[in-house]
Amino acid sequence: MIANQALKQELQIKLEQLPASKLQEVFDFVNFLLFQQTHSKTSRQVEIAVPEPEHDPLLEFIGAVSHGTLAQNIDEEVYGV
């Protein structure tokens, strides 16, 4: 693998060979890579809060319906089949 400084020099040489119309594409791509790098660092630091069962109203509702007929004939209702 090319050393960091040598890689930067090689990149500079190749950039000088590109037409001006392609430089914007390179610039956009570099910005995308930097954005991606920044977001991947922050996404690793994000923790998802899991509600405690006693504070989650949905957990109280689970099992509240004793029979499974709520969706009976739902296809007819929704699709007219």
Contact 23, 14 (CB under 8 A): no
- Which pLDDT tens digits describe the chain residue by residue (81 residues)? 568 899 999 999 999 999 998 999 999 999 999 998 887 765 556 667 777 777 777 777 776 666 666 677 778 778 876
pLDDT at 37: 87
**What three-state secondary structure class fits 81?**
coil
Tell me if the pTM is above 0.75.
no
Name the token pair of 74.
């739902």
